[in-house]
Structure 1
Amino acid sequence: MRTSLVLSTVMTALLAGAPLAPAQARPAASSTSYTADVGGFYTNGDHVHVSSTPPATASGHGWWVRVKGGRPGEKAKVTIWLQAKDRHGKWKSVASGSKKVKPTKGKASSTHRANARKTCESKKKTQWRSLIDVDIIGEADSPEKAVTATMTFNCGAGV
């Protein structure tokens, strides 16, 4: 339902000629919106989460969803950074991953998303988020990145 609302809102803005601005990611939902000559897309990602099987590992995924236009075989380089808040309250990137993928139509399968993982270094309560960038291959794009909601886990990142 949320994807339909986002697509509807973005399509209305595109048809009206309005520029799309980046926005903070909502829980398990979209974040940055961007339009280019090749068509519109938005960046998406899930919350950072900790694996239920040993070893405990923080993980996050990022992907992109085409809103309109573009070529069917078009790909993008999706890069995701896992970030943990240090003792000074600053976000530090502790792991990253990137992958060249085709767009999805919502939640992405493993073949359509980038993944970043960081093994927990302790059981210290730590705040986590992910930063996601989508670069359409062969096209100019904007510098905006998606930021997922902050999650807190007993999973220290060593920062």
Structure 2
Amino acid sequence: MKILSQGAAKRLTRNLAIGVVAVGLLASFAPASATAKPIGGDDTVTVGEKHIKTSSAESGGTPEDAWICTALQKVDLPHISSTASVRAVQAHGAWNKGDCQSDAAVVTTQIDRQGFLNNFFAVGTQGKGTLQSTNGMPSGSNNRVTAQYVCQGTGQGRFRAWTDVDVIGIADLPNKVYSAETNIACG
């Protein structure tokens, strides 16, 4: 176990507090009717730290002085690939920059399979790449990453996928967006 220095512990505490504030701010802007998620998934993620201008902070800064960047993470529903040379489950990830300044992000997508104890664990090959911001889920291989799990048979399995977006040039939280769970004949 690594012991943190006092300075590192203070930074970690500050960053965790910033993450909680950012999540609270996002939740406060969600419409009351937004209870159902679409199949597949996309979700807003807050990236960057909360910054209050020095002059405003000294005079009791307000939330209007806070800077938070939001981007949209995207993942589609795991499905049997129509293009792979073998029977395989695939899921795709992409992103949209929202109001972030950067046009590029490292996007990671992973397929999880449900185990005998109802826990999910990573399977197959993770999709990861530096992508440009895009609207919607692009088709083909441009501006999306592909995670893949090669089937070992045709028995039923329960799968989900997730995507994590790390906007280049901005420190962000390790938020992930998860797809809905789905049953697929892929042992």
> TM-score band, normalised by the shorter chain?
0.7 to 0.9
Contact 1:32–1:145 (8 Å) recurs in 2: no
Determine the C-alpha separation between the residues in 2 that align with 1:24 and 1:135. 25
Go from structure 1 to structure 2 and tell me whether the alpha carbon gap of 1:155 and 1:118 turns closer, same or farther (over 3 Å shift).
same
Determine the C-alpha separation between the residues in 1 that align with 2:95 and 2:70. 10
Go from structure 1 to structure 2 and tell me whether the alpha carbon gap of 1:122 and 1:133 turns closer, same or farther (over 3 Å shift).
same
Q: Is the radius of gyration larger for structure 1 or structure 2?
A: 2
The residue number in structure 2 matching 1:68 is 99
Go from structure 1 to structure 2 and tell me whether the alpha carbon gap of 1:154 and 1:75 turns closer, same or farther (over 3 Å shift).
same
Q: Once the 2 structures are TM-superposed, how far is the Cα of residue 68 of structure 1 from its aligned partner?
A: 1.9
Q: Once the 2 structures are TM-superposed, how far is the Cα of residue 107 of structure 1 from its aligned partner?
A: 1.9
Structure with larger RCO (C-alpha < 8 A, sep 6+):
1
Contact 2:151–2:186 (8 Å) recurs in 1: yes
Question: Between the two proteins, what is the percent identity of the paired residues?
Answer: 26
The residue number in structure 2 matching 1:27 is 39
Gaps of 5+ in 2: 1-23, 28-34, 49-66
Q: Once the 2 structures are TM-superposed, how far is the Cα of residue 24 of structure 1 from its aligned partner?
A: 8.8
The residue number in structure 1 matching 2:154 is 123
* 1:69-89 deviations in Å (ceiling 9; x for gaps): 414xx2110001110001121
The residue number in structure 2 matching 1:87 is 116
Q: Once the 2 structures are TM-superposed, how far is the Cα of residue 55 of structure 1 from its aligned partner?
A: 1.9
User: How many aligned residue pairs are there?
Assistant: 137
Q: Once the 2 structures are TM-superposed, how far is the Cα of residue 108 of structure 1 from its aligned partner?
A: 2.2
RMSD in angstroms over aligned alpha carbons?
A: 2.4
Contact 2:137–2:144 (8 Å) recurs in 1: no
Return the letter of the residue paired with 2:110: W
Query: How high is the TM-score relative to the length of structure 2?
Result: 0.65
Return the letter of the residue paired with 2:143: H
Gaps of 5+ in 1: 1-17
SS of 2:142's equivalent in the other structure is helix
**Of residues 40, 44, 50 in structure 1, which corresponds to 2:70?**
40
Q: 106-115 or 84-93: which moved more? A: 106-115
Determine the C-alpha separation between the residues in 2 that align with 1:63 and 1:98. 10
Contact 1:24–1:32 (8 Å) recurs in 2: no
